[in-house]
Amino acid sequence: MHKKTLSVVTPNYNHGKYLPQAIEAVIGQTRPPDEYIVLDDQSSDNSLSIISEYAQKCSFLRLIVNDKNMGVVKNFQRLISEASGDYIYCGAADDYILPGFFEKAMEMADLYPEAGIIFGNIVLVDENEKQMGVSDIPSWIKPEYISPQRYLHEYLEKYPINHSLSGATILRKSCLEEAGGFRPELSTWGDTFASRAIALKYGACYIPQPFMKWRVLPDSFSNKISKEFRQFFRTILKATKLMRSQKFVERFPENYVSSFEKRCRRFVLLNSLLANSGILGEYLKKIFRMLSKSSLTKPFLPPRNV
């Protein structure tokens, strides 16, 4: 029986402050990856020396250095093409995974080889490690295979449009390549789209357990994008065009895509009001924080930080 292999890839740009924790979280897993590729995108801090030091000590860690700064999305494109594993985990240099993630995920891969993705929950923390919340799927209470139909009806149709657990997701590489990887035109939403497109054809394995901590940093790539609501809306429109394309139309039913567009408009309008309405905005934010404690709006979180 073929042993399933796992590649971990991480792009980095000036995250030397967080790199040691991110790298040690990967190499310290009870089931370490078969290969670990870290790409430095011409950092100006001490990132390169940190990665080089770990690469000398860890036989399965490989360092790649870009000739010029390429940006997050192009970095992931290159890393995905470099990876050789049957499964791939795309991590961020300023986040870190939790113990047991790879072991439990690859156990599910053995049990359900048909699944396109394997994922769990995300703990959100600020730059001081203070917990801000947990992103999960409360209605799924045990580790199990989720069929494409259940993924659509019990998850995508019920949860906010920007709910994403991509940071705690391992993807079957052949399925990711078939879906076109992380598409540049979708910017910070590329990994979320890929995960959904894969799960809607091949199904998913969900493990109701926190698998990574995501630092919500004010200057992060996704945080900047999510605040620019018009740009986010344009990105979502590109996503819906892809959903309706010949390649994906059988995965994304039209009634879902139409509903998705309407929910997106409401999302952008609400967030624009919250950001620009002064005293009223502060009042609305207080109401929103109260509502966000309920299970109905709990998953209402910004897009994944890639």
Rounded Cα distance, 238 and 242, in Å: 6
Residues 134-182: pLDDT tens digits? 999 999 999 999 999 999 999 999 998 889 999 999 999 999 999 999 9
Q: 102 CB contacts (<8 Å, ≥6 apart)? A: 6, 29, 30, 31, 32, 33, 89, 170
Q: Which helix (H) or strand (E) holds 210?
A: strand 204-215
Name which of 84, 88, 83 is nearest 117 in CA terms.
88
Check pLDDT > 70 for residue 292.
Answer: no
CATH class assigned to 6-217 = alpha beta
* Amino acid 271: pLDDT: 67
Domain boundaries along the sequence of the chain: 6-217
| Mean pLDDT calculated for residue range 224-253 | 84
- Give the range among 29-33, 87-91, 188-192, 250-254 with minimum mean pLDDT: 188-192
CB count within 10 Å of CB 238 equals 16
Check pLDDT > 80 for residue 187.
Answer: yes
Check pLDDT > 60 for residue 57.
Answer: yes
Percent of the chain with pLDDT over 90: 73
Check pLDDT > 60 for residue 280.
Answer: no
Beta strand residue intervals within 231-277, DSSP E: none
Radius of gyration over every alpha carbon of the chain, rounded to an integer in angstroms = 19
* Amino acid 301: pLDDT: 44
Q: Which helix (H) or strand (E) holds 302?
A: none
* Amino acid 129: pLDDT: 87
- Give the range among 32-41, 75-84, 131-140, 290-299 with minimum mean pLDDT: 290-299
DSSP state string for 112-157: -TT-SEEEEEEEEE-TT--EEEEE--TT--S-EEE-HHHIIIIIIT
* Amino acid 295: pLDDT: 38
Whether 205 and 150 have beta carbons less than 8 Å apart is answered as: no
* Amino acid 302: pLDDT: 43
| pTM, rounded to two decimals | 0.86
Q: How confident is the model at residue 286 (pLDDT cuts 50, 70, 90)?
A: low
